[in-house]
Amino acid sequence: MSSSTHFSDPSSFQQQSNNFTSWLEGSPGVKVNSKIFLADLRANGAGRGIVARSNIEEGEELFSIPRSLILAVQNSDLKSLLPPRLMIYEYLKGPSSQWAAYFQILPTQFDTLMFWSAAELHELQASAIVDKIGKQGADESILGSIAPAVRANPSLFPPVGQISSYEGDAGAAVLLELAHMMGSLIMAYAFDIEKPEDDDDEMNDADDSYMTDDEEEQLPKGMVPLADLLNADADRNNARLYQEEESLIMRALKPIRENEEIFNDYGEIPRADLLRRYGYVTENYAPFDVVELSLRDICQSAGLPTDNLESQPRLQFLDEHEVLEDGYVIPRPLNNASLEDILPAELVVLLTTLTQTPEEFEQRQSKNKLPKPSMDLKQATLLYKAFQTKQAQYATSLAQDTQLLQSLSSPASLEGSSRRLKMALQVRMGEKEIFQAVLAMLESIGAA
């Protein structure tokens, strides 16, 4: 997870790694296999990572971190705090924090979308991921709930930098930056932590202003030292974190050879979400790319007025049956997948309802029964039009993007906005590939 880290002083980088390793080895209950070490992988554009010093067998324990060392609410000396206030509190304690050496190796700069400029975000074009960043909502949450608590407790949250307090515009700006940094660390580095059976509900989730609705329903989060330094790879995943009563244990999933990097895995997530949450993009996650059609785009393609969708009887009918969504996610077609394989049932029901004649819809209403989710030519034609509408919202073609991507330097030599442009290109190209594939599938059944 360290690919979003930016450092400039090599000696400082290695010293921070050494301090962290010493702290870890001196912490009660920590066990680290002598066959692994913390490596400098900046030459590969990956910050820090864990590498095998010698051959490791399948199932072998790589390291064990006691629950008492997890940076989470129940381990803080001020359990009334909630993330990311806990993170801010521990960070501002400096050397007196139990996790001071840990904070030294965590990034302070990020390539996650929360930190992109408006011009950089514009390069994502019509990707639905832009609407999931939520920076304005995060700012409002920080100023509305975190700032009052911080300002009311100056002894717990001492000012940093050139400010004397967190009051006023200058103080608010520093606090926003600090809270965004801590929130981003939680989102990119924290693990879902299963509570022991006898534990109470003290461990709280990450800052919800950084999370989507689905993510908010996940298990509580905790920062697990060393475990979060494994980089992720969908293809080369060779380790997994197992949660036991007293410790969290990383074990090898397969034999790992000497000098081979040890990888975790994020699961099947699109590259757009990889960029939003972790600040980088890799081709290994391209198979999990998706596109999202908004309800508005579909209704516009169906000829419905979009200024007052809530008043449309057909949409009200679907909403009453709890199948109406704001957007519909379509994955990349793989392994000769059919339309039925990739289209959500709720989307097919929407398409069917929108293409029914007035008499057919009236009959459905009278029976108070949803149509079956099966595609016909009318539905396919509407979907084809909606896909074309969405595709037209991207400012460039796939061919133009391919040419631009080829003109850029290798990833290791790209920095700042150039690196972000490359990642935006990869995300939007993946989405355009899906549009082309699905449109071709629709054309094959006569929907064009």
Which pLDDT belongs to residue 410? 65
Q: What is the mean pLDDT of residues 373-402?
A: 95
Whether 239 maps to a domain, the answer reads: yes
**Cα-flanking dihedrals φ and ψ of residue 363, to 5°?**
-65, -40
Which pLDDT belongs to residue 408? 87
Whether 395 maps to a domain, the answer reads: yes
84: cis peptide before it, omega within 30°?
Answer: yes
- Helices within 115-167 (DSSP H only): 118-122, 135-141, 147-152
Range with the lowest mean pLDDT among 54-68, 207-221, 245-259, 326-340?
Answer: 207-221
Whether 277 maps to a domain, the answer reads: no
Same domain, 238 and 350: no
Among 360, 369, 265, residue whose Cα is nearest residue 317? 369
Same domain, 55 and 108: yes
Which pLDDT belongs to residue 411? 55
337-373 pLDDT, tens per residue? Answer: 999 999 999 999 999 999 999 999 999 999 999 998 8
* CA pair distance 77, 92, nearest whole angstrom: 14
Q: What is the mean pLDDT of the chain?
A: 90
Q: Is 344 within 8 Å of 326 (Cβ atoms)?
A: no
* CA pair distance 379, 383, nearest whole angstrom: 6
Same domain, 364 and 244: no
Q: State the pLDDT confidence band at 289, using cuts at 50, 70 and 90.
A: very high
The residues, any chain, with a CB within 8 Å of residue 377's CB and separated by 6 or more, are 445, 446, 447
Same domain, 255 and 319: no
Whether 278 maps to a domain, the answer reads: no
Give buried/exposed letters for 244-279 (b at 16+ CB in 10 A, else e).
Answer: eeebbbbbbeeebeeeebbbbbbeebbbbbbbbbbb
Q: What is the mean pLDDT of residues 189-216?
A: 61
| Count of structural domains, the chain | 2
Q: State the pLDDT confidence band at 202, using cuts at 50, 70 and 90.
A: very low
Whether 126 maps to a domain, the answer reads: yes
Same domain, 263 and 296: no
96-148 pLDDT, tens per residue? Answer: 999 999 999 999 889 999 999 999 999 999 999 999 999 999 999 999 999 99
Same domain, 240 and 374: no
Whether 280 maps to a domain, the answer reads: no
Check the CA dihedral 241-243-248-254 and report its sign.
Answer: negative
Check the CA dihedral 105-106-110-111 and report its sign.
Answer: positive
Check the CA dihedral 95-96-98-99 and report its sign.
Answer: negative
Same domain, 100 and 183: yes
Same domain, 258 and 350: no
Whether 284 maps to a domain, the answer reads: no
CATH of the domain at 397: 3.90.1420.10
Same domain, 329 and 250: no
Q: Is 166 within 8 Å of 37 (Cβ atoms)?
A: no
Same domain, 200 and 340: no
Q: Is 387 within 8 Å of 435 (Cβ atoms)?
A: yes
Q: Is 216 within 8 Å of 208 (Cβ atoms)?
A: yes
CATH of the domain at 259: 3.90.1410.10
Which pLDDT belongs to residue 25? 94
206-251 pLDDT, tens per residue? Answer: 455 555 555 555 667 899 999 999 999 999 999 999 999 999 999 9
- Enclosing domain of residue 313: 289-444
Who has greater pLDDT, 26 or 416? 26
Q: Which helix (H) or strand (E) segment is 180 a member of?
A: helix 168-189
* CA pair distance 6, 85, nearest whole angstrom: 24
Who has greater pLDDT, 44 or 124? 124
Which pLDDT belongs to residue 7? 34
Among 232, 231, 251, 235, residue whose Cα is nearest residue 243? 251
Q: State the pLDDT confidence band at 77, using cuts at 50, 70 and 90.
A: confident
Which pLDDT belongs to residue 231? 94
pTM above the 0.85 mark? Answer: yes
Whether 88 maps to a domain, the answer reads: yes
Q: State the pLDDT confidence band at 302, using cuts at 50, 70 and 90.
A: very high
Who has greater pLDDT, 170 or 415? 170
Same domain, 412 and 344: yes
Which pLDDT belongs to residue 3? 41
Q: What is the DSSP letter of 53?
A: S
Same domain, 331 and 218: no
